Amino acid sequence: ANDISADKMSTYVENYGDDHFHLEDIWKVAAGPENIIPEDVFLYTASFPCTDLSVAGSRAGLAGEESGTLNAVLKILEQKKLANDLPKIVMLENVSGFLTSKAGKDVVETVKALSELGFVVDIIELDAALFTPQSRPRVFLIAVIETLATKCMHVKSADVFCDSWWQKFDEQPKLRSAKLKRLIASHEELNWGLLDIPLPEPRTAILDDIIEHDIPDVSSLWWSDKRRNHLFAQMNPAHQAKLQAMMDNKFFSYGTVFRRMRAGVSMAELRTDGIAGCLRTPRGGSSKQILVRAGNGEWRVRLLTPREYARLQGVRDSFVLPNNVNKAYFAMGDAVCVPAIEHLSKYALTPIYKFSQVSR
């Protein structure tokens, strides 16, 4: 395991031990001794920074300093190929902007690099909202070594455009969008494949299910009237009306507020559909997600707690979070939704692993 953040290392070590964590810049790992990374590894997975890919970021793409760390992973894979020690699967995760960065050029160049290394690539689009009450669309690129891919995937023929492969592609439009289809159709020469990954069962949990309900009304976590009224003033009339409708209920309900810049002005937008907005790392007060509890003619406001952040990511309550609140927000804001990974593991990673062991 590797990260450049000592704080994230501390969280990892607290939960999983320190016998395999390497704190370092991934570029230095790529340039360092080859024995840092073990031999004969089945899976490499990288959740590289989204800073330069996100529509909220600089959109510098993989040429950016942070998101460009993916190139270090590709360099490591090139070295492993020379050593005849490529992993069987590479899984990459990032924001949906990965598909549109540089008009799709960045993801195409990534698939091209993996194709040249001998992998067949599937791209899955999964929203955490399928599993937990958090809107968090993400892209998962799963590359399978060709010798296994031909036995475990529906591999696309580069010679035929209108073939049964596209029919298979269209079976799961929620997992593979029309945007992705256009991208593949424009680059059919690359190694594309499809994994048999179904949609998950419909989610039943809502925001109310992850809330820490035992926080007393006298807790200092709840905002003062002055701070609360300022938030109300940042709402446009439509969002103020949403809040009033919540207050008119004879029971408490919950919504989340996220501050966004609209035409150069900070606006507070209230969401009341039982789903939280996408969690982010706190680089300022505006990036922390705000909880509203309203009903019986009143309303209260506080920040979501780190444990509530963790629950929105599908993280078990026994997972040890940092004592420092901001460090806990960082750890969970940068996390990957656990049930989404479990779903991919159940229907793709684990079956391929078992097959690779049998076919040895």
Answer whether residue 231 shows pLDDT above 70: yes
Res. 160 pLDDT band, cuts 50 70 90: low
Answer whether residue 287 shows pLDDT above 90: no
**What pLDDT score was predicted for residue 48?**
74
**What pLDDT score was predicted for residue 101?**
83
Spatial distance between the Cα atoms of 332 and 326, rounded to a whole number of angstroms: 10
How many other CB atoms are there within 10 angstroms of residue 343's CB atom? Answer: 21
What is the tens place of the pLDDT at every residue in 31-84?
Answer: 887 678 889 999 999 987 666 555 555 556 666 666 678 889 999 999 999 999
What is the tens place of the pLDDT at every residue in 1-30?
Answer: 999 999 999 999 999 999 999 999 999 999
Percent residues over pLDDT 90 in the chain:
77
- pLDDT averaged over the chain? 91
Spatial distance between the Cα atoms of 197 and 346, rounded to a whole number of angstroms: 9
**What pLDDT score was predicted for residue 284?**
47
CA atoms within 13 A on the CB side of 70: 27
Res. 285 pLDDT band, cuts 50 70 90: very low
In the chain, what are the domains? 2-201+341-358 (3.40.50.150), 213-304 (no CATH)
**What pLDDT score was predicted for residue 159?**
67
Average pLDDT on 89-111 reads 91
Show Cβ contacts of residue 133 under 8 Å, excluding neighbours closer than 6 positions. Answer: 203, 205, 206, 207, 209, 210, 274, 275, 276, 312
**What pLDDT score was predicted for residue 310?**
98
